[in-house]
Amino acid sequence: MHTKTMTGMQPYSNLSGISAVEAFEIDERYINIRFKDGTVYHYSYVVPGRASVEEMKRLALLGIGLNTYINQHVRRKYATRLS
């Protein structure tokens, strides 16, 4: 089970060992993802849409495939760059 950090983010398991994803935060209608370069992106039901967000949530909790999914399906479709 993931433990939350002080920022509310959960560490990404990165089972492949090569992911650029470092951590994530899941809410009912969005997921925030922090990458190893420190950038944080907000993906919501508005952009890129419910189906994509739900798939990203699933992959985040699995700890594998999230970075690949983002690169292949939602790379530039984020609601907001948070940092």
The pLDDT value recorded for residue 83 is: 80
CB atoms within 10 A of CB 46: 12
State whether residue 38 is helix, strand or coil. coil
Residue 1: what pLDDT? 33
CA distances from 52 to 45, 59, 69 (A): 8, 11, 9
Distance, in Å, from the CA atom of 43 to the CA atom of 1, rounded to the nearest integer, reads 23
> Residue-wise pLDDT tens for the chain (83 aa)?
333 443 689 999 999 999 999 999 999 999 999 999 999 999 999 999 999 999 999 999 999 999 999 999 998 888 788 88
- pTM given for the model: 0.87
